Amino acid sequence: MERLMQKMVTELKHASRKNNAPIWSKLAKSLLKPSPTKKTVNIKKINDFSEESNIVVVPGKVLGMGNISHKITLCSFSISTSAAKKIIESGGQILKFTELIEKNPSGNGVKIIG
pLDDT digits 0-9 by tens, 3-35: 877 888 999 999 999 999 999 999 998 888 776
Q: What is the 3-state secondary structure (H, E, C) of 8-68?
A: HHHHHHHHHHHHCCHHHHHHHHHHHCCHHHCEEEEHHHHHHCCCCCCEEEEEEEEECCCCC
Q: 106: domain range?
A: 2-112
Counting the structural domains of the chain, the total is: 1
Q: What is the mean pLDDT of the chain?
A: 91
pTM score of the predicted model: 0.89
pLDDT digits 0-9 by tens, 64-75: 999 999 999 999
Question: What's the pLDDT score for residue 1?
Answer: 55
CATH number, domain containing residue 10: 3.100.10.10
